């Protein structure tokens, strides 16, 4: 018996990499899966059916249940169609994994408007559109649901050459934080995944070695994602999980007060703030150190 028997899941961008690994494990745990993928090249250009079909075949060969969908997450009609595919084939939708993504890395001075727009479109707008239709379906069913959105340490921490991607991924995290609050009364959890895995997307960015392929196999990220979809995880919502290989971390929020006085007093002077900052820079390395996980 699987932990997701009877559940229905939709995974976007599931034709390869992390999405494929999530889809296979969801199916292994008993969920019926809609495998969405545009099937384009690694830049998200073009389209095709073979990537999604290939994963559907793998799931079926392993005894699971799956159906393909080939639309783009950037298209409202296609996003509606993904949810409809779940309902038409399996009767409902319980789980949405927003995973589809592309890169257009450039230092900010070289970035074009097109490179900015397409990354925001696929990641942030795509997450919004598919979630919009899934949310409606989950509310109509009235039995809660599970949503995982895919962010990145690029958006949560920062990474050189990815202002477009970082903005989209930070936007996704903000989207999750608000939606998680709105989902509480409906029993719908919403969590962020910030993964690290060797995939088509990252093969140029990571060392080309069997050790990396093993240490950062996408399959190592999926168990956390799938657990978040189980009944056991019903109370876990609004959280950010960094999963890098076999290391699973919770990225938590911390507020560090630098200086403070009674709120009814007048404002600080600029010089007073300068003094507090100077003192912090001297005695508290955290102020000058870049964030890291």
Catalytic residues: 165
Residues forming a β-bridge with 19: none
Q: Which stretch binds ligand NAI (CB under 6 A): 82-90, 97-105, 207-215, 232-240?
A: 97-105
Closest CB 78 distance from ligand NAI, rounded Å: 8
If the CB atoms of residues 2 and 53 are measured against ligand NAI, the closer one turns out to be 53
Closest CB 225 distance from ligand NAI, rounded Å: 10
Helices vs strands, H then E, count in the chain: 10, 8
Q: Which listed residue (32, 85, 99, 162) binds ligand NAI by CB under 6 A?
A: 99
Closest CB 236 distance from ligand NAI, rounded Å: 20
Interaction of residue 85 with ligand NAI, rule CB under 6 A: no
- What is the DSSP code (8-state) at residue 268? P
Binding mask of the shown chain, residues 15 to 34, with x at each position contacting ligand NAI by CB under 6 A: xxxxx---------------
Most distant CA pair in the chain, distance: 70
Long-range contacts of 123-126 (CB under 8 A, 24+ apart): 123/165, 123/168, 123/169, 123/171, 123/172, 124/167, 124/168, 124/171, 124/172, 124/175, 125/73, 125/74, 126/12, 126/72, 126/73, 126/74, 126/79, 126/98, 126/100
Interaction of residue 240 with ligand NAI, rule CB under 6 A: no
Interaction of residue 155 with ligand NAI, rule CB under 6 A: no
Q: How many CB atoms lie within 10 A of CB 129?
A: 23
Q: Find the helix or strand (DSSP H, E) in which 222 lies.
A: helix 222-228
Residues that bind ligand NAI (CB under 6 A): 12-13, 15-19, 36-40, 42, 44, 51, 72-74, 99-102, 122, 126, 150, 152, 195-197, 199-202
């Amino acid at each position: 018996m699987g932990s997701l028997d009877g559940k229905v899941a939709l995974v976007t961008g599931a034709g390869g990499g992390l999405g494929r690994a999530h889809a296979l494990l969801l199916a292994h745990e008993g969920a019926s899966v809609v495998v969405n993928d545009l099937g384009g090249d690694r830049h998200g250009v073009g389209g095709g059916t073979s990537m999604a079909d290939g994963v559907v075949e793998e799931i079926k060969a392993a005894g699971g249940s799956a159906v393909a969908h080939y639309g783009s997450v950037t298209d409202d009609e296609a996003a509606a169609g993904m949810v409809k595919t779940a309902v038409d084939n399996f009767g409902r939708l319980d789980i949405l994994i927003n995973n589809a993504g592309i890169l257009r890395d450039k230092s900010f001075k070289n970035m074009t408007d097109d490179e900015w727009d397409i990354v925001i479109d696929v990641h942030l707008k795509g997450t919004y559109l598919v979630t919009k239709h899934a949310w409606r379906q989950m509310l109509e069913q009235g039995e809660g649901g599970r949503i995982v959105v895919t962010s990145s340490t690029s958006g949560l921490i920062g990474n050189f050459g990815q202002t477009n991607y970082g903005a989209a991924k930070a936007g996704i995290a903000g989207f999750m934080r608000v939606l998680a609050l709105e989902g509480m009364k409906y029993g719908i959890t919403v969590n962020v995944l910030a993964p690290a895995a060797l995939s088509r997307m990252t093969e140029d960015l990571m060392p080309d070695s069997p050790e990396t392929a093993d240490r950062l196999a996408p399959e190592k990220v999926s168990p956390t994602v799938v657990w978040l979809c189980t009944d056991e995880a019903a109370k876990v919502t609004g959280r950010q999980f960094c999963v890098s290989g076999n290391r699973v971390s919770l990225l938590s929020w911390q507020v560090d007060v630098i200086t403070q006085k009674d709120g009814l007093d007048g404002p600080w002077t600029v010089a007073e703030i300068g003094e507090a900052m100077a003192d912090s820079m001297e005695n508290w390395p955290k102020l000058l150190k870049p964030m890291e996980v």
